[in-house]
Amino acid sequence: MSDLVEQLAGKFIVIDGPDGAGKTTQAKLLGEFLSESGLEVAHIRDPGGTEIGDEIRTILLDRRHHKMSVQCELMLYMASRAQLACEVIAPALSSGKCVLGDRYVSSTVAYQGAGGADIKAITQAAQIAVGAAMPDLTVILDIESQLGLTRAAREGQADRIESKHIEYHRKVREMFLAQAADQPERFTVIPSSGSIEEIQQQLRQTLTAWKWA
């Protein structure tokens, strides 16, 4: 078993960042690499990842729901996550699996924070929703907003959040980078500018070099 595999057993790692940064691809490649190296990995998708969460995800991303208030968004993202934490994350961590997340609380801080929700209120809601099921490390895959939206658009019709104005997405990016700057012991940033393989190498190197508690 490699050192990295030993270090990551029972750890919760989230890959997050603006739309179009390639998090889903990178989380999938990392998960495959870790599984092949002998680590038990639980993948999570937020919002969603449980039967209840997937239903909430459909409501959240439905383009017809343009009237949804930012407070309603905040509570629905947290509700989906509460179920995910209790049904999937906590049991996986206690059985020694590595939990690999595609988005988490950092997304609510960035997206709903950019939409005007109070950051302290988001943190309090997260405490109620997930308690101690918080990531050991959140990797922000960073991308310039217009480029990210163009890339995301290539993957299909934009969902309700992706369809918002470019200025909103610029603010979201700032909110991701601000979290990383404020909590360097729990966040790191990787620019999403190289090839898929280069970014994956950088991600693995970051995890290998990380000072795990």
* Sites of contact with ligand TMP (CB under 6 A): 19, 46-47, 61, 77, 103, 107-108, 111-112, 159, 161-162
DSSP count for the chain of H helices, then E strands: 10, 5
Q: Which is nearer to ligand TMP, 47 or 135 (CB)?
A: 47
Distance of closest approach, residue 4 Cβ to ligand TMP, in angstroms = 25
> Nearest to ligand TMP by Cβ — which residue?
111
Closer to ligand TMP by CB, 113 or 207: give it. Answer: 113
- Cis peptide, bond prior to residue 47, ω within 30 of zero: yes
Rounded to the nearest whole angstrom, what is the least distance from the CB of residue 6 to ligand TMP in the complex? 30
CA 43 to chain centroid, in Å, comes to 11
Whether residue 169 contacts residue 18, with contact meaning beta carbons closer than 8 Å, is answered with: yes
Instruction: Identify which of residues 50 and 108 has a Cβ nearer to ligand TMP in the complex.
Output: 108
- Judged by beta carbon, residue 39 or residue 199, the one nearer ligand TMP is 199
Give the nearest distance from C-beta 9 to ligand TMP in angstroms.
25
Question: Are 15 and 189 spatial neighbours (Cβ–Cβ below 8 Å)?
Answer: no
Contact 42, 98 (CB under 8 A): yes
* DSSP string computed for 133-147: ---SEEEEEE--HHH
**Cβ proximity to ligand TMP, 106 vs 200, nearer residue:** 106
Query: Min. distance of Cβ 80 from ligand TMP in angstroms?
Result: 8
CB of 119 to ligand TMP, least distance (A): 13
Q: How far is the CB of 153 from ligand TMP (least distance, A)?
A: 12
Tokens describing residue 12: 């919760």
Identity of the amino acid at 6: E
| DSSP state at residue 67 | T
Give 14 or 42: the residue with its C-beta nearer to ligand TMP. 14
Closest CA to 126 of 42, 18, 118: 118
The tokens 């609510």 sit on which residue?
A: 108
